[in-house]
Amino acid sequence: MLQYEGMLTRQETIDALSKTLRANEMTDGVHIRLTVTRRLKYTSGLEPRVNVRGCSLIILAEHKPPVYKRSSIRLATVRQRRLFADEVFCTGRMGEIIAVTQVDETRFNLGRSGQVTIRISQLYQELTQAEGYAILG
């Protein structure tokens, strides 16, 4: 785990998230991006010249729907490859776990989410409900 000098504790981070959401009256459909910097910055970004001192937590909260449809996505490759897979899925912050139903001309699982992808998605939902942190309560 990365350690930054002066980093907030887990509870302080949750409190900061809660304060941000309450101040902006955000309760649902919110995408939150957290950026931890090595130094206090006078603006957000990765450019080291904006660092001033200390450690900063930048909370960017915005109403933003998931990037992907919950059903599936299609991908394309740059060069020709042979794909031998019954099921393919992607993971990410905005799409969580999503079935890939096609890469180029290769279709997977008749264009639908497969049982493995569905099960992994269910397990992910259970995990976030059981171990996630309630920001607003």
Q: Is residue 137 part of a domain?
A: no
Residues 58 and 80 both lie in one domain: no
Cα separation, 101 vs 88, whole angstroms: 7
Listed residues 34, 63, 92: the one ending a domain = 63
Residues 81 and 124 both lie in one domain: yes
pLDDT in tens, 125-137: 899 889 887 778 6
pLDDT in tens, 105-116: 888 888 888 999
Q: What is the residue range of 91's domain?
A: 73-130
Nearest to 46 by CA among 35, 31, 55, 54: 35
For 100, the token pair is 């890939």
- Check: CB of residue 22 under 8 Å from CB of residue 136: yes
Cα dihedral 126, 128, 133, 137, rounded to 10, equals -60
Residues 77 and 123 both lie in one domain: yes
CATH number of residue 115's parent domain: 3.20.10.10
Residues 39 and 87 both lie in one domain: no
Residues 39 and 78 both lie in one domain: no
